[in-house]
Structure 1
Amino acid sequence: MALSLAALRILLGSFFVLTGAAKLAPIAAPVSQQMRALFVRFAEVFPLRVFGYQPDSVSYQTAVGWLEVLAGSLLLVGPPLLQRVSTMFLILLMMGAIFTLMFLKQSLSTCIPAFVCLWLLLLLDVCQLLPQTEKVARPSRRRKTSSMLKESWE
């Protein structure tokens, strides 16, 4: 179980580092132009827009890229506490991505990667919680003394 969790953590961490780096560095001209056009649309439906804040699309793309690189790196090589924090942060980031894609009425095939990442992050988070829950919920195992055995028979 620990090996599969480590593999999932490495897979997700690497994925987010790579997708964040793709947002930061121009890969190829058509891909960069397409991503820039997407972030123009994403900035128009930014969730904090209702509070009067609408980011610049280039700044928004850069911020999301750096956040993905940082959280993915912490997920890869950070200590357990920071891995948990980065998992929670990436869950929030994926929920925001799904909200944005749904608000823009994108096709289901466009939303599937975000849903899969969200599901895998939730799975990782729940599986990281299980060992801690078992430690708390596990009753103490005391040795039964002869007086305890006599009481149980009576």
Structure 2
Amino acid sequence: MAFVLVALRVLLGGFFALTGAAKLCQLSAPETEQMKALFLQFTEVFPLKIFGYQPDPMNYQTAVGWLELLAGLLLAVGPRMLQEISNLFLTLLMMVAIFTLASLKESLSTFIPAITCLGFLLLLDIWQALAHTKKVHRYHRKKVPHVFKKAWEQRASSHQL
């Protein structure tokens, strides 16, 4: 189980690090233009737009890219506390992605990557929580040796008289 947990964490972290790097790097003109067009659509339905905030599409793409890159790296190779924090950030990011796709009324096939990643992130979070709770040791009171028990009982009975 521990190996599966580590493998899932490293694979998810690597996947998010690669997708974040792809958003940050300008690979070729067609992909760059397609990414700009997508983030232009995404800013139109940005969740904080109802509060009057609508980000610049390029800044939005850069922010999502850095978040995916850094959180993915921390999820893959970071210490436990940072893994949990990065899992939280990536989970929120996938929820925003699903909200965005639903707001754009995209086809169900476009939801599959975001839903799959969200499912794996939640599964990873649950597994880590279960693995962590199994390691908790409860303190059990040691039994008092028979010699001390007799002396204690004698002392207690003499004080009652």
Give the TM-score of the pair, scaled to structure 2. Answer: 0.84
Match of 1:120, as an amino acid?
A: F
Alignment-derived partner of residue 67 in structure 2: 67
Q: Secondary structure at the match of 2:26?
A: coil
Q: Which residue of 2 aligns with 1:127?
A: 127
Opposite residue 90 of structure 1, the aligned amino acid is L
Q: 1:108-147, aligned counterparts within 5 Å?
A: 108-136=108-136, 140=139
Equivalent residue number for residue 103 of structure 1: 103
Q: CA deviation at 1:46?
A: 0.5
Counterpart amino acid of residue 41 in structure 1: Q
Residue of structure 1 in register with 2:81 after alignment: 81
- Provide the C-alpha distance between the structure 2 equivalents of 1:118 and 1:134, rounded to a whole number of angstroms: 24
State how far apart, in whole Å, the 2-side matches of 1:140 and 1:107 are: 54
1:77 Cα offset (Å): 1.5
Unpaired stretches in structure 2, ≥5 consecutive residues: 147-161
The equivalent of 1:151 in structure 2 is none
1:132 Cα shift? 2.3
Which residue does the alignment assign to 2:48?
A: 48
Q: Give deviations 1:55-93, integer Å, cap 9, x for gaps.
A: 000100001000100100111111000001000110000
In 2, Cα distance between equivalents of 1:106 and 1:129: 34
3-state SS, counterpart of residue 27 of structure 2:
coil
Letter in 1 for 2:58: V
Deviations 1:86-141 (A, max 9, x none): 001100000000000001000010010000000000000000100222344x6555
Q: Which amino acid aligns with 1:42?
A: F
Distance in 2 (alpha carbons) for counterparts of 1:6 and 1:118: 17
Partner of 2:27: 27
* Matched residue type, 1:66: W
Q: Secondary structure in 2 aligned to 1:118?
A: helix
Structure label with greater radius of gyration: 2
- How far apart are residue 143 of structure 1 and its match? 6.2
| Residue segments in structure 1 that go unaligned for 5+ positions in a row | 148-154
Q: Distance in 1 between matches of 2:141 and 2:134?
A: 17
CA distance in 1, matches of 2:43, 2:125: 29
Q: RMSD of the alignment, in Å? A: 1.6
